[in-house]
Chains A and B, each alone.
Chain A
């Protein structure tokens, strides 16, 4: 009788562990991260440069950019890419001919982002990026303009 009770206890705890531990791991690893990457051009002029047909950036991104300490008033969308990253895979996306972004999923919402400009790694960064949040990489461009690479996590 006692042996039966002990084995029943053991089975109970074992089944709890089997349910909880793999469940948590699967939950952490199963889902892909989905992103939108934008290449933006910032200027104080109301129009894009001559000969370019850039569209103004979406309102949601423009509103978030307004809250950042960057001075440019108008942002135009040069290019946009949607992509997804799976666990332990590095996804490289060409946002333009000269600009690439490499993203590696590290955990639930943790990732490693590399910015490659003209074939050279300009920056590599690890951080958490929950759904809906944005990572904005930017720099100065000629004639008091700016470039931005916006990485937005959509899912």
Chain B
């Protein structure tokens, strides 16, 4: 039996032959033992496979599935456009906003944390701005928070003329 005859038997089993040809093939099977044996074997095989042939169902409709495939192909054909280049103003603003925030926090910190007693390095720097008394000395007691400025005023000669408690009184 050649391959073409075997295919005719398979087509008869699958119901794919026209009526007239199906009758001819059926008569041939009835008369030919080899054909009948092959037909029986094909029928048994199909029944056996039918029990194991798991039915696969798509979770979506066929039309929707293929439309997804089509959209995927279109995406590949037309890649997404690149984002427009940012302007210098945007870049500058992106830098200035956090920089100004940091500067504000620093300035606020400096202003709020300035100690009431701190000199700030300006006018408070301890200094004698005018001393007629060149013999004066200054002593600072940091623990007591006391500054002593000892003057040679009044001059000893002048003091000698005064009463002891009369120097400044």
Contacts and interface: CB of A to CB of B under 8 A. Distances in A.
Contact of B165 (A23, A48, A99): A48
A48 B166 CA distance: 12
Contacts of B120: 107-108, 110
B146 A108 contact: no
B146 A68 contact: yes
A123 interface: yes
B11 interface: no
B114 A145 contact: no
Nearest to A134: B146
A117 B168 contact: yes
A123 B132 contact: yes
Interface residues of B, number: 51
Residue among B107, B160, B164 with the most chain A CB within 10 A?
B164
Given A122-B151, A126-B127, A147 B168 contact: yes
Contact of A110 (B119, B147, B167, B168): B119
Interface stretch (B13-21, B61-69, B136-144): B136-144
A139 interface: yes
B47 interface: no
- Counting contact residues on chain A (CB < 8 A from B), the size range is 35 or more
Given A123-B133, A142-B160, A110 B151 contact: no
Interface string A70-95: 10000000110000000000000001
B169 A123 contact: no
Given A49-B165, A136-B149, A147-B168, A127 B132 contact: no
A109 B117 CA distance: 5
A98 B168 contact: yes
B30 interface: no
B132 to A, nearest CB: 6
A21 B110 CA distance: 11
A131 interface: yes
B168 A68 contact: no
Interface string B68-100: 000000000000000000000000010001001
B121 to A, nearest CB: 11
Interface string A120-153: 1111111111111111111111110101010000
B112 interface: yes
B126 A99 contact: no
Contact of B132 (A21, A122, A143): A122
B169 A96 contact: yes
A109 B120 CA distance: 10
7 contacts: A20-B107, A96-B169, A117-B168, A122-B151, A128-B119, A133-B145, A142-B164
Given A6-B93, A79-B169, 5 more contacts: A41-B169, A96-B168, A117-B154, A127-B147, A128-B124
